[in-house]
Amino acid sequence: MRPFRHAFSAPFLAGFLLLPLLLRPAAMEGILVDKIAATVNEEIITLHDIERAVALFPVERRADEGEDDLYFRVLNDLVTYKVIALEYGDEFVPDEEDVEAVQTRILQKAGSLEALQATLGRFAMSWADFQAFLREIVLYEKVLREKFPMELIIPFEEIEKFYQGVYLPSHRQIGLEPLSLVEMTPQIEAYLRRQRNERRLNDWLGDLRSATRIEIKLRSPQ
């Protein structure tokens, strides 16, 4: 019996051998897009997730903020959203109003529904993909509303102390006529409430993050 011989021509074999090299750029491009930016316990956040969040979420670039700084800030937000999702995903279930509140701000950023759909198309996202991608930020905002209500009571003594110790001296220093304590009470109360909530929120988030295994793989721009 004659030994079996392949009936492939030399050009065919050469093309076959070159095929992996021809396909390599596309494969490498996919790897770059899906580069892991951070891990939160066993969950991953990719560079593609950051790109989508920058394009879709109601986040704006700060003055003099470079692209690297913006990406790192958004990554930090995504890590926080995932920490909250892992901790409270079974306890809190967002409803339609929660989802709509976030979607409305995203639509305002996009400018129109057509512009939003164009952005989704650029990322090859269906409306279902979009809703799934919003889940963690929607959950995060719901948890914050439940745990840090803005109805926090500020004692009048604190308002008066701020008025006498901060508001009046600052206005006198720059030569402006100060408003009365009665006129300024609502503004000072809102300011102190926001400050107190921010401190409580930062302490709470710090405790949650410290109890979670977080690894940031992107290099900080600082």
Across the chain, mean pLDDT equals 82
pLDDT at 8: 39
> Which pLDDT band holds residue 147 (cuts at 50, 70, 90)?
confident
pLDDT for 10 beyond 50: no
Q: Is residue 141 part of a domain?
A: yes
pLDDT for 6 beyond 60: no
* Nearest-angstrom CA–CA distance, 153 and 190: 10
Q: Is residue 168 part of a domain?
A: no
pLDDT for 19 beyond 70: no
Residue among 203, 205, 167 at smallest CA distance from 183: 167
* Nearest-angstrom CA–CA distance, 5 and 39: 52
Please count the structural domains in the chain: 1
Span 93-146, pLDDT tens digits: 999 999 998 999 899 888 899 999 999 999 999 999 999 999 999 999 899 888
Q: Is residue 195 part of a domain?
A: no
pLDDT at 182: 92
Q: Is residue 16 part of a domain?
A: no
Q: Is residue 210 part of a domain?
A: yes
Q: What percent of the chain is modeled with pLDDT above 70?
A: 82
Q: Is residue 78 part of a domain?
A: yes
pLDDT at 5: 42
What is the b/e burial string over 53-85, where b = at least 16 CB atoms within 10 angstroms of the residue's CB? bbbbbebeeeeeeeeeebbbbbbebbbbbbbbb
Span 156-195, pLDDT tens digits: 999 999 999 998 988 888 787 888 999 999 889 888 887 8
pLDDT at 221: 67
In degrees and rounded to multiples of 5, residue 44 shows phi and psi of -115, 150
**What CATH number corresponds to the domain at position 35?**
1.10.4030
Asked if 163 and 179 touch (Cβ cutoff 8 Å), the reply is no
Q: Which domain holds residue 132?
A: 22-148+205-216
SS3 157: helix
Q: Is residue 14 part of a domain?
A: no
Residues near 41 by beta carbon (within 8 Å), at least 6 away in sequence: 86, 212, 213
Span 95-104, pLDDT tens digits: 999 999 899 9
Q: Tell me how crowded residue 48 is: count the other CB atoms within 10 A of its CB.
A: 15
